[in-house]
Structure 1
Amino acid sequence: MPDPMVSNFQNERSLPKPSSVQESFEAEALARAKFIRVLQTWASDRLAANASRFEIVEKRKAA
């Protein structure tokens, strides 16, 4: 039986690569922007979980 970790690694290696350095930089920038947005949303939700209803609106606007 093939090792699933090895087959997953092989699948990752066969993913299409960016055709240029510019596309690579753009893909990395997009991934960073998505990550930052998710992190901001998570932080906002954590603050909201610990705040009263009145404070939630102000904290979400700040985030």
Structure 2
Amino acid sequence: VTDPLFGLAVPTTCPNVPDELLVPKSTWADGAAYDKQALKLAQLFNKNFEKYKAGSSEAIINAGPQV
């Protein structure tokens, strides 16, 4: 499964690990709060990356969070 915001591949199963632990949102009591914090983190990442953008390839730039 691919995380829609960060584009990271997330495993759906792992031996000896409950499946629900592999989905970060499911570990939060409030899914809406998770979504809000994930969006904030993605925005902060993109803002911080601005200082490296000029020296980065298009592939690297496009690999960041999709906000």
After TM superposition, is the score higher than 0.5?
no
TM-score interval (norm. to shorter): 0.3 to 0.5
More helix by share: 1
TM-score norm. by structure 1 comes to: 0.42
